[in-house]
Structure 1
Amino acid sequence: MKALKIAGIVIGVLIVLVLLLGVIAPKEMKTARSIVINAPREKVFNTVNDLTTWEKWSPWKEMDPESVMTMGEKTEGVGAYYTWKGEKTGSGKMTIEESVLNERILVDVEFDGMGSAKAPFTFTRADNGIQVSWGFTAEMPYPMNAMMLFVDMEEQTGKDFEKGLSNLKNLIEMEEKNSSPKQTIVETDMPFPYVVGVRKTVKMSDVQQFYTENLGKVYSALMGKNITPAGQPCGVYFTWDDASQTSDMMAAIPVSEEVKLGGEFETVTLPKGKAVVLNYYGSYENMDRAHNIVDNYILLKKLEVEMPVMEEYVTDPTTVSDPNQILTRVIYPIK
């Protein structure tokens, strides 16, 4: 009887201790990890935004390979979800709550009987590709939050996220390697001395529309003055501001001499000397990949870029059926 009383007192003290510790312990758990993936931002974003790919890179699927993932009717973008059930990972539901193209994704994670959490992804440009940041925020109910004083939940969860991001990187970069046609990059003379066109600060989401509205006008103006182009239509980039999502750019045609067309048309004298030129084969949607190749080359060679940077659209995409036949020359003048 005495032993029971002592046991009861000990249990009571432990309960009180847990309750007291729960008052002072943090009630929110946060973790975040990042990795740089050498691939176009569209490719990286679309892979995460498509829940059917998660089985290929999820750290928890690797931890519990016998677990079952069941996809919802929608598998991409806002409203997409899947449920999971496993012996080691328990059960729950993942739902995409927010999806902003090429910028961020917010996932809601429901753990059956254990509350929920938010898992945001962000996608930003980095020197060698796209930096993917994956976060996790969960409320720890009182008094269960007391355990956070004794167990480093951030470190444990962080290891899972590091593994998942590493799997994601390997998956995407392997797919890119297998799908990429051969590209060639050289240091050579600047291919033309001038460009003439329409210059404007444009939202990145409106770049294609800007080209469509202006390249034809530039070409017609040149033909009206019997001026022969020195190359194919170009996108000329004086700035590229990720923060404001804008670019000071020009829809232009190369010319061999300075011309004056008047009106909205402007002639720009390009830097003289050498340039790094990449012959890139692939869809315009994957031009991030082309610029990553040139950026890496310039870093390796310790070269200094002189703006503006140019894309010369050599192949008319309406004349080929395979996007890998579309040739774009990416031109970086160097000092």
Structure 2
Amino acid sequence: MKILKYLFFLILIFLIGGAIYFATKDGSYDVARTKTINAPAEVVYNNVKDFKTWQNWGPWMAEDENIEINYAEKTQGEGASYSWKSDVMGDGSMKTTRVIPNKEMEQKIVFNTPLGDSESDVYWKFEEGEEPSTTKVTWGMKGELSFMDKVFMSFQEGDFETSLSSMYDQGLENLDQVVMEEMKKFEISVDGIAQHGGGYYMYNTISAKMGDIGAKMGAMMGQVMGYMQSNNIAMTGKPFALYNQIDEANGTVIFSAGIPVRDRVITPEGSTVVSGYMEPVSALKTTLKGGYDNIPAAYAKAQEYMQQNGLTPHPTAKMFEVYVTDPNEVPNPANYVTEIYMPVLVPEEAQ
């Protein structure tokens, strides 16, 4: 009996010691991972703000393809929520509690476990990266492990913070890939013959390699716009590029960056910004929705249409591009809209 009595006391001492150990063990945690994504903050935020988009990049999807997700009526903004059931990941729910669009987001996550519910805080930060048009994205979770959580995690192969860091790293990598693919999307439509009204415009002109057009265009447009603002000249249409001369053999082009105005403007002698006039013209109109790097593909499709439909290029009128959207207002290149006009002879002129 004495042996059983001593054994009982040893077990009791062990249990008390274990309880004291786990009770005094620090259970607080704050795990955050950061990744810089080559996209504006608004584009990245738009892929995170709605819980329905999480299935496109969430790392848990790879862990359990049979996970059951239930969305609330509201899935984005403060008060948005969703829940899940999984034989692999366990059950739980999440709710968005605070939002500063394109900057911060805070959420509450609840895990339903056999040991009881466990609640933690999830947070997101979207900060400007070191390079232009990049975003430093931080995804983190913080909270306090309960006594039973600490006991349970002590018998797991990997520690909690390491597992969470790995999952967040994978999630941010997936998010990066989703954002990059989204920004590459584009559509080209050949709209047919359209009448462009022409009119007066302010412009400057430069000669450049074809591959340098995009790099030079922004500065040229800025110079024209700056001149107009300094002289209180209102724009009456969307900015455009006019291709005056193209040397395909040498890969060079002489082009103008222009902004429509109502009347002719007399500029000082020697001014790099001058006034011009475009005659009304019939042109094959092609619309590109997507990044400017897809413009060559739009021209190729327009050329193909002209050949298939026997259209005759106008011998003197120059082709031009109208930039319907402003990149400063439309952060995602997939939503840029560019209209391409290739002047043609109408049937009466072609005879």
Deviation at 1:57, TM superposition (A): 1.5
Match of 2:338 among 312, 322, 326: 326
Task: Supply the AA of the counterpart residue of 2:42.
Answer: E
Task: Supply the AA of the counterpart residue of 1:12.
Answer: L
Task: Supply the AA of the counterpart residue of 2:182.
Answer: E
1:136 equivalent in structure 2: 141
Deviation at 1:145, TM superposition (A): 3.5
**Size of the alignment, in residue pairs?**
236
1:57 equivalent in structure 2: 57
Q: Aligned partners of 2:85, 2:3: CA distance in 1, in Å?
A: 43
Higher-Rg member (1/2)? 2
Change in 2 beyond 3 A, CA 1:73/1:185: farther
Q: Aligned partners of 1:116, 1:184: CA distance in 2, in Å?
A: 54
Could you tell me whether the CA contact under 8 Å between 1:84 and 1:93 is conserved in 2? yes
Task: Supply the AA of the counterpart residue of 2:220.
Answer: P
1:203 equivalent in structure 2: none
Deviation at 1:13, TM superposition (A): 2.8
**Aligned with 1:89: secondary structure?**
coil
Could you tell me whether the CA contact under 8 Å between 2:228 and 2:234 is conserved in 1? no
1:160 equivalent in structure 2: 167
Task: Supply the AA of the counterpart residue of 1:315.
Answer: Y
Match of 1:218 among 210, 232, 237: 232
Are 2:42 and 1:42 aligned? yes
Q: Identity of paired residues, percent?
A: 25
Could you tell me whether the CA contact under 8 Å between 2:128 and 2:136 is conserved in 1? yes
Q: Aligned partners of 2:335, 2:4: CA distance in 1, in Å?
A: 78
Deviation at 1:95, TM superposition (A): 0.9
Q: Aligned partners of 2:65, 2:135: CA distance in 1, in Å?
A: 29
Q: Aligned partners of 2:149, 2:335: CA distance in 1, in Å?
A: 55
RMSD value, Cα: 4.3
2:87 equivalent in structure 1: 87
Q: Aligned partners of 2:212, 2:108: CA distance in 1, in Å?
A: 43
Change in 2 beyond 3 A, CA 1:184/1:99: farther
Q: Aligned partners of 1:2, 1:56: CA distance in 2, in Å?
A: 64
Task: Supply the AA of the counterpart residue of 1:157.
Answer: L
What does 1:295-314 align with in structure 2 at a 5 Å threshold?
A: none
Are 2:267 and 1:232 aligned? no
Are 2:208 and 1:191 aligned? no
Deviation at 1:53, TM superposition (A): 1.2
1:315 equivalent in structure 2: 323
Could you tell me whether the CA contact under 8 Å between 2:45 and 2:102 is conserved in 1? yes
Task: Supply the AA of the counterpart residue of 1:41.
Answer: A
Match of 1:173 among 176, 180, 186: 180
Could you tell me whether the CA contact under 8 Å between 2:325 and 2:336 is conserved in 1? no
Query: Any unmatched runs of 5+ in structure 2?
Result: 189-209, 236-256, 272-287, 294-320, 327-333, 340-351
Deviation at 1:177, TM superposition (A): 1.9
Q: Aligned partners of 1:256, 1:116: CA distance in 2, in Å?
A: 69
Could you tell me whether the CA contact under 8 Å between 1:97 and 1:108 is conserved in 2? yes
Task: Supply the AA of the counterpart residue of 2:145.
Answer: M
Change in 2 beyond 3 A, CA 1:232/1:5: farther
Change in 2 beyond 3 A, CA 1:52/1:325: same
Could you tell me whether the CA contact under 8 Å between 1:26 and 1:148 is conserved in 2? no
Are 2:152 and 1:123 aligned? no
Task: Supply the AA of the counterpart residue of 1:115.
Answer: S
Task: Supply the AA of the counterpart residue of 1:176.
Answer: M
Change in 2 beyond 3 A, CA 1:88/1:220: closer
Q: Given the two structures, how large is their TM-score scaled by the length of structure 2? A: 0.55
Query: Any unmatched runs of 5+ in structure 1?
Result: 200-216, 222-229, 234-252, 260-280, 290-312, 328-335
Are 2:104 and 1:104 aligned? yes
Q: Aligned partners of 2:17, 2:268: CA distance in 1, in Å?
A: 83
Change in 2 beyond 3 A, CA 1:167/1:191: closer
Q: Aligned partners of 1:152, 1:258: CA distance in 2, in Å?
A: 71
1:16 equivalent in structure 2: 16
Deviation at 1:117, TM superposition (A): 0.7
Deviation at 1:39, TM superposition (A): 2.4
Task: Supply the AA of the counterpart residue of 1:171.
Answer: V
Q: Aligned partners of 2:180, 2:95: CA distance in 1, in Å?
A: 26
Could you tell me whether the CA contact under 8 Å between 1:64 and 1:89 is conserved in 2? yes
Could you tell me whether the CA contact under 8 Å between 1:106 and 1:121 is conserved in 2? yes
Deviation at 1:12, TM superposition (A): 2.2
Q: Given the two structures, how large is their TM-score scaled by the length of structure 1? A: 0.57
Q: Aligned partners of 1:256, 1:148: CA distance in 2, in Å?
A: 77
